[in-house]
Amino acid sequence: MTQRNEKSLTIIGAGLAGALLATLMARQGWQVAVYEKRGDPRVKGYEGGRSINLALAERGRHALRQANADDAVMAQAVMMRGRMVHSLDGRTQLQRYGRDDSEVIWSVHRGDLNITLLNLAEQAGASLCFHRRLDDVDFDAGVARFVDDRDDGHHDIGFESLIGADGAGSSLRAAMMRNTDLGERTDFLDHSYKELEIPPAADGDFMIEPNALHIWPRGHYMCIALPNDEKTFTVTLFLPNHGDPGFDSIRSGDDAMALFQRDFADAVPLIPRLRSDWESNPPGLLATLYLDRWHIDSRAVLLGDAAHAMVPFHGQGMNCAFEDCVALANHLLAGTDRAQAFAAFERQRQPDARAIQHMALENYLEMRDKVDNPDFLLQRELERSLQERHPGRFIPHYTMVSFMRIPYSLALQRSEIQREILVESTRGLSSLHQVDWQATDARVRERLSPLADGA
């Protein structure tokens, strides 16, 4: 049994959020122990051995700065200026995320990022315990039982508070649910995904433009590719579970090759292992997790995917989890009772988690169905013009989500108002020259107050 301490935390999960929270709290003198069911990725290599990318935006970078981790992470990141849209006829068009290179997002490799954060957590004084799977929790006694799956050994650990940073399939959440009804609901998307890879070119360089998120939109399905610092791209195909095409009809590597030759022809020469990757990589599920409660008094609290897993289409899952870490650390360091700190954290973050979950689902429709739509492109043009005409008042949706740190819930509220203005002002038009600027400016001033990034 571990010695209890009023400034001790037991974190379940040594992934990105667990390692970051451990660093933030250990740097403030807290006794932090992190338990992870897998082995240490620094010893055995990142499990899976594949290039799983994440999009790092300002919210995530701000959290990394709090842990003095930003420089180490950015040394391995690849800048993405915008979406490189690949049309069916092979034409490409870059749609910038922001106004210039000061407004970009970054592609980072999950495994490399995890290792960087684990090293920083250990350097800050956190204790990292691998091969420790949470099996059960006695919340009344304050004892957690862990199992080492290599020898089925049991380890009982005393705790003051358990922090669930163990992802969408959280073992701590399951233990909490056996104790208290958290109001758990999971909505599965009727689409899944399959990962493939674009290798480096023969000369060792990138095969296609590296500073972009590549997207092949095809209506109700799409393919994307994100760059890695080792000059590869992680390719992800999102398809319906049923239909033509769908995962029930595209079964073999040959089926996949036929689909790509028909709908993603310019990508075929880029993916030499398409058939074998298809057959060896299982499809991944896409779901949104909702909980009514994230905590049990002072004894346990959930964050990140364990509390609010979302679909990946806004690239904000990691950024949102990192924001959770900073918010929870701030509440704990404020010196209030832990139960109050956990409740305040939940009150603060739950509306924002719900908002980004909603926006992530919305963004899937935009990415697969709208990025090459003339009405959508005209609205994007108008959005940029209104940003220039009304600085600080009309701020593009993507800017609020990715380049600012205003609450997600406020970004959603303002985005919905701005979308109405864009639709109303471009209805039936084919060019910005036809816009009634006087009426449009009046709508902006009437419906939107000036906004400052006060986060």
Q: Tens place of pLDDT for every residue, the chain, 455 residues? A: 444 467 999 999 999 999 999 999 999 999 999 999 999 999 866 554 444 689 999 999 999 999 999 999 999 999 999 999 999 999 999 999 998 999 999 999 899 899 999 999 999 999 999 999 999 999 999 999 999 999 999 999 999 999 999 999 999 999 999 999 999 999 999 999 999 999 999 999 999 999 999 999 998 899 999 999 889 999 999 999 999 999 999 999 999 999 999 999 999 999 999 999 999 999 999 999 999 999 999 999 999 999 999 999 999 999 999 999 999 999 999 988 999 999 999 999 999 999 999 999 998 877 766 767 888 889 999 999 999 999 999 999 999 999 999 999 999 999 999 999 999 999 999 999 999 999 999 999 999 999 975 44
pLDDT at 454: 41
Looking at the structure, give the CATH architecture of the domain made up of residues 8-49+61-69+110-186+286-360.
3-Layer(bba) Sandwich (3.50)
Query: Which pair of tokens denotes residue 189?
Result: 């998307």
Per-residue pLDDT reduced to its tens digit, 124-156: 999 999 999 999 999 999 999 999 999 999 999
Please state, in angstroms and rounded to a whole number, the distance separating the CA atoms of residues 276 and 89. Answer: 26
pLDDT at 158: 97
pLDDT at 5: 62
pLDDT at 52: 61
pLDDT at 436: 97
pLDDT at 46: 54
Say what the pTM is.
Answer: 0.93
Coil, helix or strand for 276?
Answer: helix
pLDDT at 267: 98
Please state, in angstroms and rounded to a whole number, the distance separating the CA atoms of residues 411 and 400. Answer: 6
pLDDT at 366: 74
Please state, in angstroms and rounded to a whole number, the distance separating the CA atoms of residues 274 and 49. Answer: 17
Can you tell me which residue has the tokens 């667990």?
18
How many CB atoms neighbour CB 306 within 10 A?
Answer: 30
How many CB atoms neighbour CB 328 within 10 A?
Answer: 28
Domain borders along the chain are 8-49+61-69+110-186+286-360, 372-447
CB 321 within 8 A of CB 163: no
